[in-house]
Amino acid sequence: MQLLETIQVLQKWGKYVVQQSRSNLTKSRKNVNKALYKSIGYNVLDAKNNTSMTFKMLDYGKFQDKGVRGANAYYADSATSGSPFSFKSSSKIPPVEPLADWAKAKRIRLRDDKGRFTKGNYNTIGFLIARSIKDKGIKASMFFTKPYERAFVKFDKEFAFAIATDIGNEIVRQNKEK
């Protein structure tokens, strides 16, 4: 069965989710080097009698989206507290190098009690941030989850109509073959 109408709606749905997710990343200022932004995408596969849709992004996107519970505390919002990711079972800290690069891109520097710059390179800052993330976790941004859930509401009637149209077209096609 050919699902031409359904595939068109899935394409619109995917474009909507990607566009809204990218917009949320930019608005929440989590788009420092645009790597995550550029990696967000979708794919509609139309195999014989099996149409599916997948979304993709860099691995760390799921941690930014769902949040991570820290070893000692976590953000009290319901999204982070329900996150499947946690540092409690691991003694590891997040990788320091990407955090050092992020601190450098954001031009974060160490200061003393009086507000003066102190000694310490970006690797030190990366380590301090990694340790803080392990202790406190990462707050959930829901930059992908919210548009994904809104897409269900936005496209539900259009999707149902497309499926009904495709089924009707298939019935007509099969009746013509008889």
Least Cα distance to 159 among 2, 1, 12, 45 occurs for 12
Condensed to tens digits (0 to 9), the pLDDT of residues 109-126 reads: 888 888 888 888 899 999
Q: What is the pLDDT of residue 77?
A: 65
Residue 19 has pLDDT above 80, yes or no: yes
Burial 63-89 (b: 16+ CB within 10 A, else e): bbbbbbbbbeebbeeebbeebeeebee
More confident residue, 53 or 46: 53
pLDDT of residue 118: 85
Residue type, 24: N
Least confident of 3-7, 74-78, 92-96, 112-116: 74-78
Question: Given this model, what pLDDT does residue 85 score?
Answer: 85
Give me the pLDDT at residue 176, please.
86
What is the arithmetic mean of pLDDT over 150-178?
Answer: 89
Cα separation, 32 vs 160, whole angstroms:
39
- DSSP for residue 111: B
The reply to whether the predicted model has a pTM over 0.85 is no
DSSP E strand boundaries for 4-74: 41-47, 50-56, 68-69
As a whole number, mean pLDDT of residues 9-32 equals 91
pLDDT of residue 168: 93
